[in-house]
Amino acid sequence: MAKGRFITFEGIDGAGKSTQVEVIHQTIVARGIEVVRTREPGGTPLSEKIRKLLLTQSMEPSTETLLFFASRAEHIAKVIKPSVERGAWVLSDRFTDATYAYQVGGRGFPASKVEALEAWTQEGFGPDLTVLFDIDPEVAARRVAKARNLDRFEKESLDFFTRVRNAYLERARQNPDRFLIIDSMRDKETVSDELRRIFSTWD
Ligand code: TYD
């Protein structure tokens, strides 16, 4: 059987990622492809426990970064790699680019330490495609405030999210072949239409 694909979805909180990942999921399933939908932090029973800690407890930046990678190591070994090897397409709501954006960009954690953890736990493994939902942090904050109770990350300042957004855009500039940037300032239906068009043929 042919190898599957690993696609990740990124963006600051409030970019409309969840809605649009659902649209992409349906579009790929309609092609008769097996899709495994997952998320970070999370994606395995143990990683979901780590997720709960990350979203509710305050902790040292190094503890936070290590927990994201601990959760990720489980996720890669138990879910992502076996699924891709079986021929499925894995869709993950966030992955390592989020650590560069939130912990390095947002919190100022050293990039060199994240690079070391990435090399150690992933050994060159990573996404085939990363879709970045890009949005002005002020617009995103208004959307998030309306929609839900805020978790530990969503309570961060506008400055924090501006740094996170810029770090994502910088990751995209450094990896132009892997990244697809989606302008999420447009209305929902326009974005969904564009994604249906792209993912009805993307390979
Ligand atoms: P997410 O599941 O997108 O939140 P929600 O369920 O509220 O949509 O992600 C949880 C939070 O974790 C999000 O604010 C971003 C943060 N995060 C990091 O800071 N670093 C990481 O490596 C990952 C994967 C997520």
What's the whole-number mean pLDDT along residues 69-86?
98
User: Cα of 93 to ligand 1 centre, how many Å?
Assistant: 9
Of residues 148 and 112, more confidence is placed in 112
Band of the pLDDT at 53, cuts 50, 70, 90? very high
By CB atoms closer than 10 A (0-12, 13-18, 19+), residue 106 is: buried
Q: What is the percent of the chain with per-residue pLDDT over 70, rounded to a whole number?
A: 100
Of 13, 7, 9, the closest CA to residue 106 belongs to: 13
Q: What is the pLDDT of residue 1?
A: 64
Contact between residue 86 and residue 58 where contact means Cβ atoms under 8 Å apart: no
The confidence band for 147, taking pLDDT boundaries of 50, 70 and 90, is confident
What is the percentage of the chain residues whose pLDDT exceeds 90?
A: 95
Nearest ligand 1 atom, CA 151: 7
Q: What is the overall mean pLDDT for the chain? A: 97
Query: Sheet containing 35-39: which strands, arranged edge to edge?
Result: 35-39, 89-93, 5-10, 129-134, 179-183
- pLDDT category at 2 given cuts 50, 70, 90 is confident
User: CB within 6 Å of ligand 1 — which residues?
Assistant: 13, 39-41, 68, 93-94, 98-99, 102-103, 151, 153-154
pLDDT of residue 149: 86
Q: For 17-33, how does the pLDDT look when each residue is reduced to its tens digit (9 = 90+)?
A: 999 999 999 999 999 99
* Crossing angle of helices 17-29 and 188-199, rounded to 10°: 30
Mutate to test the pocket of ligand 1, among 17, 47, 96, 102 (most ligand atoms within 8 A of CB): 102
Query: Residue 103 CA: which ligand 1 atom is closest?
Result: 19
**pLDDT reading at 62 higher than 80:** yes
Q: Which amino acid residue places its CA nearest to atom 13 of ligand 1?
A: 153
Q: How confident is the model at residue 40 (pLDDT cuts 50, 70, 90)?
A: very high
Q: Is the confidence at residue 113, as pLDDT, over 90?
A: yes
pLDDT reading at 180 higher than 90: yes
* pLDDT average, residue stretch 110-115: 98
Average pLDDT over residues 64-91: 98
Across the range 95-114, mean pLDDT stands at 98
What is the rounded distance in angstroms from the CA atom of residue 97 to the CA atom of residue 25? 20
Determine the pLDDT at residue 43.
98
* Whether pLDDT at 174 is above 70: yes
Strands 179-183 and 129-134: parallel
